[in-house]
Structure 1
Amino acid sequence: MKTVVFLAVCLVTCSMSLYSCRTVYAPNALNVPLFQEKGELKATIATNNLQVATAVTEHIGIMVNGYLNAYTSDDKDFKNNGKGAEIGIGYFGHSANRITYETYAGAGLYNVKMKESNKAKTFDSDAVKYFVQPAVGWVTQYFEIAASPRLSVIKYSAPDITGYTVQEQASNYLNIVDQKAHAFLEPTLIVRGGYRFVKLQAQYGHSFKLSKNDINYDDGVGSIGLIFDIASWYKTGK
Structure 2
Amino acid sequence: MQINLTKPASILPILVLLLISISSCNRYYYQPNAVNAPMLSNRNDAKILVSGNGGVGTSSSGDYSSEVINLQASYSPLKYVGLMGNYANYRYDTYEEVPEDGEVDAHANLLEGGIGGYYPIILNEKGFKLVADTYVGYGAGKLNSDVKMNFDRIFIQPGINLTTPFFDAGFAARISGIKYSDFNSNGMLQFYVEQQGLQDITSKRHFFFEPAITLRGGYKFVKGQLQVVRSASLNNLDWKYNDTMFTLGLFISIEEFFKLKK
TM-score exceeds 0.5: yes
**Structure 1 counterpart of 2:59:** none
* C-alpha displacement of 1:221: 2.3
Using the TM superposition, give the Cα deviation of residue 148 of structure 1 relative to its aligned residue in structure 2, in angstroms.
0.9
- Give the gaps of 5 or more residues in structure 1: 116-122
Q: Quick one: percent identity of the two aligned structures?
A: 27
After superposing the two structures, state which structure 1 stretch, 168-177 or 128-137, moved more: 168-177
> TM-score, with normalisation over the residues of structure 2?
0.81
Count the aligned residue pairs: 226
Q: Quick one: which of 128, 142, 145 aligns to 2:169?
A: 145
- Which stretch of the first structure deviates more once superposed, 168-177 or 31-40? 168-177
Query: 2:114 matched to 1:88?
Result: yes
Q: CA separation in 2, counterparts of 1:141 and 1:189?
A: 19
CA contact (8 A) 1:7 1:204 kept: no
Provide, for residues 153-193 of structure 1, a one-character-per-residue CA deviation record: whole Å limited to 9, x for no partner.
Answer: 00001301132122211111222210121110011110000
Question: Equivalent residue for 2:38?
Answer: 33
Q: 1:93 to 1:6 in 2, by over 3 A?
A: farther
Unaligned runs of 5+ in 2: 1-7, 53-68, 99-103
Residues 180-220 of structure 1, C-alpha deviations (whole Å, 9 max, x = no match): 21110011110000011110011012110111232221111
Amino acid at match of 1:14: I
State the partner residue of 2:79.
58
1:105 correspondence with 2:136: yes
Which of the residues 211, 224, 227 maps onto 1:187? 211
**Is contact 1:54–1:61 with CA below 8 Å preserved after alignment?**
yes
Contact 1:37 1:233 in 2 (8 A): no
How far, CA to CA, are the matches of 1:98 and 1:233 in structure 2? Answer: 18
Considering only aligned residues, what root-mean-square deviation do their CA atoms show, in Å?
1.9
2:222 and 2:251 in contact (8 A); partners too: yes
Relative distance call for 1:233 and 1:137 in structure 2 (3 A) is farther
CA distance, structure 1, for counterparts of residue 257 and residue 116 of structure 2: 20
